[in-house]
Amino acid sequence: MNEAKRKLLNKRYRAEANFKLFGQIAIGLALLFLAVFMYKIFSKGYTAFQKTWIVTEVHYDKELMLIETDNPSLEDLENADYYDIAYKAMTHLDPSLPEEDDRQLIQMVAFTYEQEVKNHLLKNPSLLGKIVPIRLTASDDLDQVHKGNYPRDIPEEDRRVNDYQLKIYDMLNERGDILSKFNLSFFTNPDSREAELAGIASSFMGTVFSILVCLAFSFPIAVLAAIYLEEFAPKNKFTDFIEVNINNLAAVPSIVFGLLGLGVLLAVFNLPRSTPLVGGITLSLMTLPTIIIAARASLKAVPPSIREAALAMGASNMQTTMHHTVPLSMPGTLSGTIIGLAQALGETAPLILIGMVAFVNTIPGTPVDPAASLPVQIYIWSESAERGFVEKVSACIMVLLGFLILMNLAAQIIRHKFERKWN
């Protein structure tokens, strides 16, 4: 082999190696994006599962609470005045503070502190007249300081927490009066304007209702449509048209379905705005083609021998389909349905258009109560300026991703466990 040929060959081999390397780099990049993404979300979000409390002492003083009877009933406690004792509980942290500056101390806890003092007593009525330690929800700014998410070394005027509050915070922290516990209220509270009180309960229930409505509408219609198209439809122009239609519908942007929901469900049928009912129906229109395609694929996968055997035994076409083909295709259909629902679960834009972005601070009990949904909650919180919401958004994303993973796992398990392999 002469020199020129060897050179050419080496060049070709180098090109080969380079090309392979490019492929590996591309895969690596895609995986890297995913890793960075997950890392960012988790590192920002995990602190939201901790809640910061300030421990202080409250004196359930009957006189200050304006209770006149000796043996107050629960109702009396309910109607008592808690403003003064709650105020004292906070201000006694620093008795030297002049009265006109008391806001500085009060602002260190959530604005519901009076309610928290009250609820503590209502749970243990025997505490009346005693001085007891109580833990109050810290304000979101202090919460962020405690979690180290908030820089302390910037100039005071740029900070939401001033020097005095930091001093008190350090004092309490040294005494061990700042507690950090699992944040249960993140899961049980509805949305709130205050980051320290905001939870996902309302949007979670909104999501559950929307998905149930979506399932109730899309699953039966989609399965029936798939059965017709796969088992009964004659091959003609019209069924071709339906088929093209379904394929195109699957690729229509989700926001267009939102416009449909707005223009038809709200404007023509006058269904209640902002409710999971409308949201669910809108999502079901979107999931319909996905489920139809999955159901058809799994009907197609049932071997013709099954049908022939049933027909040979004298079953009618309908009996063959309903008794044999459809049950055998169910695992594939179900896993396709779950994947379609998982897609619907993450949709935001159509729900925004039908008004599910309204601020809802109650937990919806039925599908016709106004509600948000988890992805919309992410959007609402991420538009909020308060720093405390950043970790809430990340935590909410973690919950949402957790659900998506669960659903996809369920789809996988159904597919692997129950699907028959035909060879």
Partner 1 sequence: MNLVLISLILLLGFSSYYFGRKKATIIQSSQRLTALPKFYGYYLAIWCAAPALIIFSLWSVFEPTIVKNFILADYLDQNLTKNELQLIYTKVKALALGTYTGDINNFLDNSAGKYIQIKNMANNAKIVIVLAALILSLSYAYQSIKKNNRMREPVEIFLKWVLFTASLAAVLVTIGIVFSLLFEAIRFFQSVRIFDFIFGTHWYPAKTFVRDGQPDPELMKDAFGAVPLFAGTFFIAFIAMCVAIPVGLLSGIYLAEYATRKVRKYAKPIIEILAGIPTVVYGFFAALTVGPFVKEIGNSLGLEVSSESALAAGAVMGVMIIPFISSLSDDVISAVPQNLRDGSYAMGATKSETIKKVIFPAALPGIVGSILLAVSRAVGETMIVVMASGLAANLTANPLESTSTITAQIVVILIGDQQFGDPKTQAAFALGISLFVVTLFLNVIALTVVKKYREKYE
Q: Which positions from 352 through 371 interact with partner 1, judged by CB under 8 A?
A: 352-353, 355, 357
Q: How far is the CB of 346 from partner 1 (least distance, A)?
A: 3
Q: Does 15 bind partner 1 (CB under 8 A)?
A: yes
**393, 395, 399, 411: residue in contact with partner 1 (rule CB under 8 A):** 393
Find the binder of partner 1 among 16, 163, 170, 308 (CB under 8 A): 16
Q: How far is the CB of 36 from partner 1 (least distance, A)?
A: 8
Say if residues 257 and 344 touch (Cβ distance below 8 Å). no
In this chain, which of 46, 49, 164, 379 binds partner 1, going by CB under 8 A? Answer: 379
With CA atoms as reference, report the closest residue to 102 among 88, 117, 83. 88
Q: Which of residues 282-301 bind partner 1 (CB under 8 A)?
A: 285, 288-289, 292
CA 364 to chain centre: 15
Using the rule CB under 8 A, which residue among 408, 410, 415, 419 binds partner 1? 408
Sequence-distant (≥ 6) Cβ neighbours of residue 299 within 8 angstroms:
226, 227, 230, 231, 325, 326, 329, 333
Q: Where would I find the H helices in 46-181? A: 74-79, 83-91, 103-106, 113-123, 140-146, 163-175
Q: Which of residues 295-354 bind partner 1 (CB under 8 A)?
A: 316-318, 342-343, 345-349, 352-353
Binders of partner 1: how many residues, by CB under 8 A? Answer: 85
Which listed residue (77, 128, 229, 301) binds partner 1 by CB under 8 A? Answer: 229
> Does residue 220 touch partner 1 according to CB under 8 A?
yes
Q: Which stretch binds partner 1 (CB under 8 A): 98-106, 183-191, 198-206, 220-228?
A: 220-228
Is 275 a binding residue for partner 1 by CB under 8 A? The answer is no
DSSP assignment of 157-180, as one string? GG-SS-HHHHHHHHHHHHHT-EEE
Question: Which residue in 108, 208, 390, 395 binds partner 1 (CB under 8 A)?
Answer: 390
d(CA 364, CA 202): 6
Residue 252 Cβ vs partner 1, minimum distance, rounded to whole Å: 6
Measured from the CB atom, is 139 or 274 closer to partner 1?
Answer: 274
One residue of 85, 378, 399, 414 binding partner 1 per CB under 8 A? 378
164 touches partner 1 (CB under 8 A)? no
Residue 400 lies near partner 1 (rule: CB under 8 A) = yes
* Residue listed under structure tokens 């320290």: 196
Phi and psi for 176 in degrees, rounded to 5?
A: 80, 25
Q: Which amino acid is at 54?
A: I
All residues at 6 or more sequence positions from 187 whose CB lies less than 8 Å from its CB, including other chains: 199, 200, 201, 204
Provide the token pair at 83: 């403003």
Q: Which residue is listed with tokens 């899309």? A: 218
Q: Are 97 and 105 in contact (CB under 8 A)?
A: yes
Taking CB under 8 A as the criterion, which residues in 23-52 touch partner 1?
A: 23-27, 29-31, 33-34, 37, 40-41
